[in-house]
Chains A and B, each alone.
Chain A
Amino acid sequence: MFVVDVLKEELDNSLQMKENYERSLAEIPKGSLVRREIKGHGYYYLVYREAGAVKSIYKGKVSEAELAKYGVFKEKRSRCRKHLSEVNKQIRFIRKVLRAKDAA
Chain B
Amino acid sequence: MQKTQRELYLEVLQKLKQEGVLEDIVLIGSWCGQLYREYFKDDKYVPVIRTRDVDFLVPIPVKIKRQVDLQQILSDLGFNIVFKGRDGYISFEHPDLIIEFLVPERGRDSDKPYAIPKLGINAQPLRHLDLLSEKTVKISFGGVEVVAPHPANFALQKLLISGRRTKVEKAEKDRALAFEILKALIEAGDGASVTACYRRLPKKWQKNILAVVEQSEWAEMLSGLLAVE
Contacts and interface: CB of A to CB of B under 8 A. Distances in A.
Interface stretch (B90-98, B131-139, B202-210): B90-98
Main SS at interface, chain B? mixed
Given A2-B172, A5-B172, A20-B82, A13 B94 contact: no
B52 interface: yes
Interface residues of B, number: 17
Interface in B41-70: 48-53
Contact of B80 (A8, A9, A10, A80): A80
Contacts of A14: 95
Interface string A1-28: 0110110111001100100110010000
B104 to A, nearest CB: 24
Contacts, number: 41
A93 to B, nearest CB: 12
B69 to A, nearest CB: 16
Contacts of B176: 2
Interface in B16-61: 48-53
A14 B48 CA distance: 21
**Dominant SS among interface residues on chain A:** helix
B146 to A, nearest CB: 22
B169 interface: yes
Contacts of B172: 2, 5
Contacts of B49: 2-3, 6
A32 interface: no
Max chain A Cβ within 10 angstroms of own Cβ: one of B50, B82, B95, B98: B95
A10 B78 CA distance: 19
A79 B169 contact: no
A63 B181 CA distance: 59
Given A24-B80, A79-B78, A80-B80, A6 B94 contact: no
19 contacts: A2-B173, A2-B176, A5-B172, A6-B50, A6-B173, A8-B169, A13-B51, A13-B52, A13-B53, A13-B98, A14-B95, A17-B93, A20-B80, A20-B82, A80-B80, A83-B94, A83-B95, A86-B95, A90-B95
Interface of B: 48-53, 78, 80, 82, 93-95, 98, 169, 172-173, 176
Given A13-B98, A17-B98, 6 more contacts: A2-B48, A3-B49, A6-B173, A9-B169, A14-B95, A20-B93
Interface of A: 2-3, 5-6, 8-10, 13-14, 17, 20-21, 24, 79-80, 83, 86-87, 90
